[in-house]
Amino acid sequence: MHKKLLAGASALALSLALAAPAAAQAVDLPDLNGEEFTIFGPWVGGVEIESFEAVVDAFNERTGANAEYVGSDSLEQQIVIDAQAGSAPEVTFFPQPGLAATMASQGFLTPLPEGSGDWIRDNYAAGESWVDLGTYANENGEEELYGFFYNVNLKSLVWYVPDNFADAGYEVPETMEDLLALSEQIVADGGTPWCIGIGSDAATGWPATDWVEDLMLRTQEPSVYDQWVAHEIAFDDPRVVEAIDTFGTFVKSDGWAAGGAQAVGTTDFRDSPAGLFQVPPQCYMHRQASFISAFFPEGTELGVDADFFYFPGYAEKDLGNPVLGAGTLAAITNDTPGARAFMDFLKDPEAHEIWMATAGFLTPHTGVDLAAYADDTLRAQGEILLAADTFRFDGSDLMPGAIGAGAFWTGMVDFVGGDSAEEVASEIEAAWNNL
């Protein structure tokens, strides 16, 4: 049976299972008095670095260690240089799995201790997904668990203005069938259901790839998504073409997208939510990741002026509650007692709750206290993560750069511009085969 997910930031009630998770035990940590080591990550300013430094401080207080956080906006390049020079930091937080997998295959990462996979399965919602995302081939081609995910981004969201829904008598849809029916109803009522923009300067097209990835998870089993991302099935496989065509329903159907498909292709994604807030509304819904709220009009109160609901699956397909997102993963890049202790610390709810209390942090850890989230919006997004039974990383980020940040982007621009799903998928497949 398709499980209902919480509608949005204003929905504060959890199901009984989520409202009262089993109390998580604090992790036993060793005495590391005076041990110095470095934790390397992508957070370089503002609340992010302050929040993570508070996490490191808590670890130091509990162990007596003198761990230091160092951030870099060129982490992807620097960690490779440091590893090759034999001067890698003890722990590194990778912005995406691809680089971690490459470094594991070159012998630059240390596998997590035995039992780590079982712990993740038992204590992370959609636990098997997180184990899979952190498992890579070593120098000998053997699969081992290297990555522990920490701080997750959520993409499977639809934003709306509650007052606009209330004025029109619309209800938050619980299934994809309901969402499609609502879109048709809005058009019949003389409105426009969707604001969509895929412009992003040199990266134009990437917002459309997120749509296709989300729809792959709602039309196919997770294993098919994995095969697609790994090019174990062709990009022009009929199942991929179906997902692209489903995206076309939202973009190309008469009256569904504000300004029509042409406007979708030329509207910057940062400007695309603006139509939600016009009077009368230019559109009623906008599918985008949690970060899009940064581009709402100044003074917008989340949960009041704007809210969100889970981008639902098809009830008839019974694929559960898949969630698309991204996130950082920690790995041991220089094996020391301090590095192993810090990785253990990441299992402790405290390591999550410290950052939860500020901003910009979501976790699938089932043992955390949801009340620790800084506001209702983050709490509701955390609830969606906890209700997920499948999590998949942004597919374009896992594909080779020439595809995920190249042919896939441009292909989506061509599709919105009028090319068929079959034509676009065949062109991307040809590009992949020519790598």
What's the rounded Cα separation, in Å, for the pair 339 and 178?
A: 48
Check residue 26 and give its pLDDT.
Answer: 87
**228-238 per-position pLDDT tens digit:** 999 999 999 99
**Residue in this structure with the two tokens 């080591």, named with its chain if needed:** 37
Residue range 287-309: mean pLDDT, rounded: 96
Outline where DSSP puts E strands in 251-334: 286-287, 307-310, 322-332
**225-263 per-position pLDDT tens digit:** 999 999 999 999 999 999 999 999 999 999 999 999 999
Check residue 24 and give its pLDDT.
Answer: 59
Residue 192 has pLDDT above 70, yes or no: yes
**357-379 per-position pLDDT tens digit:** 998 999 999 999 999 999 999 99
**57-81 per-position pLDDT tens digit:** 999 999 999 999 999 999 999 999 9
User: Which band of pLDDT confidence, cut at 50, 70 and 90, is reported for residue 135?
Assistant: very high
Question: Within 10 Å of residue 429's Cβ, how many Cβ atoms?
Answer: 20
**Residue in this structure with the two tokens 């639809």, named with its chain if needed:** 158
The domain over range 157-319+395-433 is classified in CATH as 2.160.10.10: no
**159-186 per-position pLDDT tens digit:** 999 999 999 999 999 999 999 999 999 9
Helices (DSSP H) in 267-375: which residue ranges? Answer: 337-345, 349-356
The domain over range 34-146+323-388 is classified in CATH as 3.40.50.10860: no
Residue 15 has pLDDT above 60, yes or no: no
Residue range 104-130: mean pLDDT, rounded: 98
CATH 3.40.190.10 intervals, the chain? 34-146+323-388, 157-319+395-433
Residue range 265-284: mean pLDDT, rounded: 97
Check residue 45 and give its pLDDT.
Answer: 87
- Of 17-31, 59-73, 281-295, 326-340, which range is least confident? 17-31
* 160, β-bridge pairs: 307
Residue 305 has pLDDT above 60, yes or no: yes
Residue 402 has pLDDT above 90, yes or no: yes
How far, in Å, are 268, 269, 337 from residue 197 at the CA level? 5, 4, 48
The closest alpha carbon to 225, from 392, 8, 38, 70, belongs to 392
Mean pLDDT of the chain: 94
